[in-house]
Amino acid sequence: MRGGGNGQEPIVQIEGVTKAFGNNEVLRGVNLTLYPGETLVLLGGSGSGKSVLLGILIGLLQAGGGRVMLSDMEVTAFRTEEEWKAIWRSVGFLFQGAALFDSMSVRDNIAFPLEIHTDLSRAAIDDKVSRLLAMVGLGDIQQKMPSELSGGMQKRVALARTIALEPRIVLYDEPTTGLDPITSDTIAELIRELQKRLGITSLVVTHDIRLAFRVADRVSMLYQGKIVITGPLEEIRNHQDPRVREFLYG
Amino acid sequence: MTLAAELGNRVIALIRYLGELSLFALSILPILFRKPLFFGLIIRQIRDIGIYSFPLVAISSFAIGIVLSMHSIHLLKQFGAVHYVAAAVGLSVVKELGPVLTALMVAGRSGSGISAELGSMRVTRQIDALQVLAVNPMKYLVVTRIVACMIAVPLLTAFADLLGITGGLLMGITRGGISPSLYLDITFEFVEMIDLVPGLLKAAFFGMLIGIVSTYGGFTASGGTTGVGTATTRTVVVTSLMIFISDVFLSQTFIVLLGG
Ligand SMILES: Nc1ncnc2c1ncn2[C@@H]1O[C@H](COP(=O)(O)OP(=O)(O)OP(=O)(O)O)[C@@H](O)[C@H]1O
Ligand SMILES: [Mg+2]
């Protein structure tokens, strides 16, 4: 749903989320809403708390206060790992550094969630791995180890692993940092593809403006612990707020 | 900083470390038998520990068997009881040196390896990746390795016992002039099956220590590759000390329980 919103029920709702580490107040009341099928890009400077926010959404960090709703479940009220399981099965998370299992081959990395969480036969899993690799634009590299791959290829393998269980929502933490512009563009292409072909809702955290312009339906900006601006891409492009202009155009 | 203050800080740091280590160990209990049990992984870990530590265990226990035998022969000759070397070597190896040497070798080789592996998984966020793929990292990485250590160390200890006795036998024949059959007869007369039990139980306990300390070291590693190095070194130091200290108490306990 390009443009997002317009009478739909939100799929992600973040309300007044706070988080501090000691005296360091990183998030000071973040409000953000995602609608099904849209791609929202969250911009913010280094250290502004983007990764912390994603960590809270996926249950790797505990929010200090506020509320997070994911697909109608209030995850900030979760107390046990069992409750998180359903979320982990339906929300994909792409780590900034790919975080591939370096003791496993490419095939085993992508097959891992399928082997653990589905009853698919080995043949069916192999088949699915091949299709996932093709989808992220990689050929026959099943037997390679992660250390043999370039950074861009690792990211794409990680993306294949992230979408193996067909999540409804994917959270991307800096999907293009450290990649050359051409590889970055193929990642942007993939994010668009996933949105179009699988209807995946995406939250893309980045400070890569080029990526933002390529994938965003809407853009938000995190600044000093709060979301200072949210709007459709075109609106943000021409925004007069100095904080936005400085971020976009230096 | 004054010496006293420095010492005080060290003691506080040690107490905190032991406290957190204990909490880590306790947090394993509720998930110990939760499914899936990852049998395949446990088998692979046992195999890895075996492959990497066996040569060290074999060489050190064989050498200790030889040395122990040399000293005992020297002593026993003065009493004209040289063939009792078989009993001295057999009992020392089975009750004490086999399990302790094996545990130290496994700690140095495989314990440090586990710490380094899990530490690098921690700092490259592979442990977080497991979590968000809905696989409990404690279950998948920690429990499997602790169980593997608890099985592998007694197995290796059995080999160490065998090789230690073989080393002793070699010296008994060449230096002591004892016939192989007499040596073995005396060995079996003094080392009974029941004597193997305390050693193997101790080995399992040492295996548990190695597993807990090394996985804890890896899980709590932070600060990039230097952090992983620090965690690895500490793992070996802490496990070695714990093995020696617990050995005193365990040996005493078995002496009380089994009368020797
Ligand atoms: N586990 C933690 N313990 C203590 N402080 C933390 C922790 N994680 C993050 N922080 C602090 O929170 C702040 C925000 O960090 P975060 O990683 O979210 O930034 P970011 O917006 O993702 O930056 P970047 O664009 O560089 O990735 C930083 O000041 C960081 O030091
Ligand atoms: Mg970040």
Q: Which residues fall within 8 angstroms of residue A158, CB to CB, at 6 or more apart?
A: A94, A95, A98, A99, A100, A109
Distance (Å, whole) CA B111 – CA B119: 12
Tell whether A103 lies on the interface with B, counting CB pairs under 8 A.
yes
Which of A60, A82, A87, A118 is the best substitution to test chain B (most B C-beta atoms within 10 A)? Answer: A60
pLDDT recorded at residue A7: 65
Nearest CA owner, ligand 1 atom 9: A52
CB A219 within 8 A of CB A244: no
Q: Domains of chain B: which residue ranges?
A: 1-31, 37-258
**Where do we find the tokens 């400077």?**
A45
Distance from the Cα of A246 to chain B's closest Cα (Å) equals 32
Distance from the Cα of B47 to chain A's closest Cα (Å) equals 16
The separation between CA B132 and the C-alpha centre of its own chain, rounded to angstroms, equals: 33
Determine if ligand 1 sits within 6 Å of the CB of residue A46: yes
Closest residue to A88, CB basis, from B36, B125, B134: B134
pLDDT recorded at residue A1: 45
pLDDT tens digits for chain A (250 residues)?
A: 444 445 688 999 999 999 999 999 999 999 999 999 999 999 998 899 999 999 999 999 999 999 999 988 999 999 888 899 999 999 999 999 999 999 999 999 999 999 999 999 999 999 999 999 998 889 899 999 999 999 889 999 999 999 999 999 999 999 998 888 888 898 899 999 999 988 999 999 998 888 999 999 999 999 999 999 898 988 888 888 888 888 887 7
CB A117 within 8 A of CB A165: yes
Helix (H, G, I), strand (E, B) or coil at A231: strand
Residues linked to residue A70 through DSSP beta bridges, in sequence order: A12, A73
The whole-chain average pLDDT of chain B stands at: 94
CATH H-level, domain A12-249: superfamily: P-loop containing nucleotide triphosphate hydrolases (3.40.50.300)
pLDDT recorded at residue A99: 96
List the beta strands (DSSP E) in A7-60: 12-21, 24-34, 39-44
DSSP code for B34? P
Distance (Å, whole) CA B64 – CA B9: 39
Spell out which residues of chain A touch residue B36, defining contact as CB-CB under 8 Å.
Answer: 116
CB B56 within 8 A of CB B108: yes
Helix (H, G, I), strand (E, B) or coil at A26: strand
| pTM score, whole prediction | 0.91
> Which residue in chain B is spatially nearest to A171 when comparing CA positions?
B132
pLDDT recorded at residue A6: 57
Closest residue to A99, CB basis, from B36, B129, B134: B129
Distance (Å, whole) CA B226 – CA B116: 11
The first and second tokens of residue A153, run together, are 């290829």
**Where do we find the tokens 């947090």?**
B27
Is the pLDDT at B1 greater than 90? The verdict is no
Please, is B259 exposed, middle or buried when counting C-beta atoms within 10 Å of its C-beta (0-12, 13-18, 19+)?
Answer: exposed
The first and second tokens of residue A241, run together, are 């707020």
Spell out which residues of chain B touch residue A81, defining contact as CB-CB under 8 Å.
Answer: 136
Distance from the Cα of B52 to chain A's closest Cα (Å) equals 17
Q: What is the pLDDT of residues B32-75, one digit of tens each?
A: 888 888 999 999 999 999 999 999 999 999 999 999 999 999 99
Q: What is the pLDDT of residues B83-98, one digit of tens each?
A: 999 999 999 999 999 9
Q: Would you call A99 and B128 a contact, using CB atoms and an 8 Å cutoff?
A: yes
Determine if ligand 1 sits within 6 Å of the CB of residue A222: no
> b/e map of A83-117 (b: 16 or more CB within 10 Å)?
ebbebbbbbbbbbbbbbbbbeebbbbbbbbbbeeb
Mutate to test the pocket of ligand 1, among A52, A221, A226 (most ligand atoms within 8 A of CB): A52
Distance (Å, whole) CA B109 – CA B49: 8
Determine if ligand 1 sits within 6 Å of the CB of residue A158: no
**Sheet order of strands, A24-34 included:** A24-34, A12-21, A65-70, A73-74
Tell whether A84 lies on the interface with B, counting CB pairs under 8 A.
yes
Helix axes B193-219, B224-258, angle to 10 degrees: 160
